[in-house]
Amino acid sequence: MARSAVLNLRIEPDVKTDAEELFGSFGLTVTDAVNVFLRQSIMRGGFPFEIVRNKPNALTQAAINEAEILCKNPDAKTFLSMASLKEDLMSDEDDDASLKNPPHRPI
């Protein structure tokens, strides 16, 4: 039997439990799965799977686009605190009713 080295990992307990259940369903231990991951990484010269950024859904992307537009608008209102933002939202001085009652958008 080949000599083995010890690798200590810190992971969240629920991740460990879920991994044990998943790999156990294949007849593997977490140690077996880590060995498979490491060997595949070595064989491929990198991660054995594609690493990509999460792509936001349409609603989130629309909010990002809106924020980018607002950041470039010199006339956009700005606030130094959450309290001043809330105060402005609750004030009756604003003539734009759409700001106080935005349309409901299902998530």
pLDDT at 105 over 80: no
Q: Which residues of 78-99 are buried (b: 16+ CB within 10 A; e: fewer)?
A: eeeeeeeeeeeeeeeeeeeeee
pLDDT of residue 107: 52
What are the tens digits of pLDDT across the range 70-104? 899 988 888 899 999 999 999 866 555 555 555 55
Residue 39 in tokens: 């060997």
To the question of pTM greater than 0.85 for the whole model, the response is no
- The answer to whether the beta carbons of residues 48 and 58 sit under 8 Å apart is no
pLDDT at 24 over 80: yes
**Overall average pLDDT of the 37-44 stretch:** 97
